[in-house]
Structure 1
Amino acid sequence: WLNQQTPFGLTLAQILSIAVICSVAITLERLITRYLRRFAKRASLERNVSNNLILTFRILVLLGSSVAIIRVGGLDTQWFLAFSALGGAALGFASSQTIGNFVAGLYLLATRPFKVGDYVRLGAVEGIVQEMTTNYTKVLTMGNNLVSIINLQILQRDMVNYLYEDEPRKLYCYTFEIGFDHSVSAEKLEGIFEQVFKQYDKLPRKPNYVLLRSGAFDRVYMIYLYVENPEEIFTLRPRITLEVFKLWDKEKQN
Structure 2
Amino acid sequence: MQQGPWESFVGIIRSLLTPIGLGGSAEFIAILPFLILIYIIYLATVRATKISFRKVGMPREAGAGLIFLIRLIFFGIAFVAVLAVTNLAFGQELIALSALIGTAVGLAFSKSLSNLVSGIYVLAARPFRVGDYVRIGTLEGIVLEVTLNYTRLLLPDYNRQYVPNTKVLESEVTNFRIRIDDYMANRGREWIEEQDYESRVSMAVEKLRYLTKGDEIFRYTFDIHVHRDHSIQEIREIFDSLCKEWRFKFVQLPEYFYWSNTHLGLIFRFEIIVKEAKQLLTVGADFQEVLAQSVTRR
TM-score over 0.5 for the pair: yes
Which residue does 1:157 correspond to in 2?
171
Secondary structure at the aligned position of 2:171 is classed as coil
Matched AA of 1:209: Y
Q: Conserved in 2, the CA contact under 8 Å of 1:25 and 1:65?
A: no
Figure out how many residues of one structure are paired with residues of the other and give that number. Answer: 242
Which residue does 1:53 correspond to in 2?
66
Q: Deviations over 1:156-175 (max 9, x none)?
A: 22222211245522311111
- The answer to whether residue 273 in structure 2 is matched with residue 226 in structure 1 is yes
Which residue does 2:258 correspond to in 1?
211
Identity among equivalent pairs (%) = 25
- Out of 196, 214, 217, the position equivalent to 1:171 is 217
- Out of 41, 44, 54, the position equivalent to 1:37 is 54
Tell me the CA shift for residue 83 of structure 1: 7.0
Tell me the CA shift for residue 47 of structure 1: 2.3
Indicate the structure whose relative CO is greater, using CA pairs within 8 Å and at least 6 residues apart: 1
Q: Conserved in 1, the CA contact under 8 Å of 2:224 and 2:291?
A: no
Matched AA of 2:252: R
Change (3 A) 1:56 1:130: same
- Out of 67, 78, 88, the position equivalent to 1:66 is 78
Q: Structure 1: which 5+ residue stretches go unaligned?
A: none
Change (3 A) 1:187 1:124: same
Secondary structure at the aligned position of 1:143 is classed as coil
Change (3 A) 1:217 1:7: closer
Q: Deviations over 1:41-80 (max 9, x none)?
A: 0xxx3321134334433543x3476379659x84426179
Q: Deviations over 1:86-126 (max 9, x none)?
A: 74365155153333233222222222222332212122221
User: Counterparts of 1:51 and 1:245 in 2: how far apart (Å)?
Assistant: 45
- Out of 104, 113, 138, the position equivalent to 1:124 is 138
User: Counterparts of 2:294 and 2:42 in 1: how far apart (Å)?
Assistant: 71
Q: TM-score, normalised by structure 1?
A: 0.74
Q: Conserved in 1, the CA contact under 8 Å of 2:144 and 2:154?
A: yes
Change (3 A) 1:208 1:237: same
The alignment's C-alpha RMSD in Å is: 3.7
User: Counterparts of 1:34 and 1:117 in 2: how far apart (Å)?
Assistant: 25
Change (3 A) 1:206 1:158: same
User: Counterparts of 1:84 and 1:218 in 2: how far apart (Å)?
Assistant: 64
User: Counterparts of 2:178 and 2:82 in 1: how far apart (Å)?
Assistant: 55
Change (3 A) 1:166 1:51: farther
Q: TM-score, normalised by structure 2?
A: 0.64
User: Counterparts of 1:215 and 1:22 in 2: how far apart (Å)?
Assistant: 66
Secondary structure at the aligned position of 1:219 is classed as strand
Change (3 A) 1:223 1:30: same
Which residue does 2:283 correspond to in 1?
236
Secondary structure at the aligned position of 1:206 is classed as coil
Q: Structure 2: which 5+ residue stretches go unaligned?
A: 15-25, 182-213
Tell me the CA shift for residue 224 of structure 1: 0.9
Larger radius of gyration: 2
User: Counterparts of 1:68 and 1:207 in 2: how far apart (Å)?
Assistant: 65
User: Counterparts of 2:161 and 2:38 in 1: how far apart (Å)?
Assistant: 45
| Structure showing the higher helix proportion among its residues | 2
Matched AA of 1:149: V
